[in-house]
Structure 1
Amino acid sequence: MFGTWRGRSFPTGHIIDGVLEATGWYGKRFEGINDVHPLVFGSAGQLYNVNPRLLPMNQAERLSTVIKKPMVATISKLLLHCVTTSKPKARLRMVDYRGKCTATMLYDDLPIVDHFRQLDENTVLGVMDLRGSAPFFFTLERTVL
């Protein structure tokens, strides 16, 4: 899992499908088992880490249709630069998920767990497990920066 990964929503009809992409989400960066940047934004060559604790994650579903509007998405991209961090905000562990030992990312400050299953050498399927919300699926593809 180590390295930088490009993320994309896996379309399932979940209310937040496409929200992260609309706000400039790039993916995730895994520097070590205790050093994970769960929310990386920007584009290749100009990536920055966002502190998830400072985002309204518990309101994401409610705000999703508004955030997808072009003007709001543009404003959101600008505001994200105000909540950057250089410190890792998650860690990796192996956790039993649906009967299989799975690479799992635990957010430091939020009740969110992302589970990963390998699809091929450079692609994983992720599922975000947030209490009170339906599972949100996404893919990560390994990038070389």
Structure 2
Amino acid sequence: MGDTEEQRMRKNNDRMTTAQAIELFDSLPPARADQMIGRWRGEGIDTDHPRDGLLEASYWHGKDFQSHEAVYPLIHTLPIWGRVAVNPAMIPMTLVEVLPLRDWITPVLFPIIYPLMRTSKPKARLRTIEFRGRPHAAMLYDAKPIHDIFAKLDDDTMMGWMDFRGMEQPYFFKLHREV
């Protein structure tokens, strides 16, 4: 018997369309906020989104949910600096999509400008919100009109849907619990 799309996605990060990613997300049980507490390693899901590969090019490591009130939404592992927290308010979200050669420029530029973007304070909160008719755990950024909403692939793997005001196509990613 063949694998379902969900099983295939768990095994590898095959490319899928946005419609397939939405269908998968909607088929999964919503994550609960208490399930998100902890450190998570992230990876993008390739749906031909303008942001596909950008987080990885910027040395994105994942997210750190210390409590419902203290979330570090962008943890990066940078050359020289090591594992660091980045302040999302300092990232020009619309500019990063249109930079020429962004996938080549970002890995070089990000470690250089990191000192201007670092933070020692949490920059998001964890809440339960209704999304697509169901209650989901969601990370709400403090300074950006962004919510990351989570559905459960398994106990240690979550699928994330970035809901960013003005973004036509949702951005999808996975989080893997770190032990």
Tell me if TM exceeds 0.5.
yes
Give the whole-Å Cα distance in 2 for the aligned partners of 1:2 and 1:15: 29
Give the whole-Å Cα distance in 1 for the aligned partners of 2:68 and 2:52: 28
Q: How high is the TM-score relative to the length of structure 1?
A: 0.91
Residue aligning to 2:159: 125
Q: Percent identity?
A: 43
User: Which stretch shifts more, 71-80 or 100-109?
Assistant: 71-80
Higher alpha-carbon Rg: 2
Residue aligning to 1:114: 148
Do the aligned partners of 1:4 and 1:143 also contact (CA within 8 Å) in 2? yes
Query: 1:105-133: CA deviations, max 9, x gaps?
Result: 00001101100001101000001111111
**Uncovered stretches (5+) of structure 1, i.e. residues with no partner:** none
2:86 is equivalent to residue 57 of structure 1: no
Equivalent residues, number: 141
Alignment of 1:1-20 (within 5 A): 1-20=36-55
**Uncovered stretches (5+) of structure 2, i.e. residues with no partner:** 1-35
Alignment of 1:62-141 (within 5 A): 62-63=98-99, 66-69=101-104, 71-133=105-167, 134-141=169-176
Which protein has the bigger helix share? 2
1:72 deviates by 4.0
Q: 1:93 to 1:72 in 2, by over 3 A?
A: closer
Which protein has the bigger strand share? 1
Do the aligned partners of 1:67 and 1:76 also contact (CA within 8 Å) in 2? no
Give the whole-Å Cα distance in 1 for the aligned partners of 2:174 and 2:106: 25
Coordinate RMSD, CA, aligned:
1.6
Do the aligned partners of 1:94 and 1:101 also contact (CA within 8 Å) in 2? yes
Q: 1:72 to 1:50 in 2, by over 3 A?
A: closer
Q: Quick one: which of 2, 18, 30 aligns to 2:65?
A: 30
Amino acid across the alignment from 2:116 = C
Q: How high is the TM-score relative to the length of structure 2?
A: 0.74
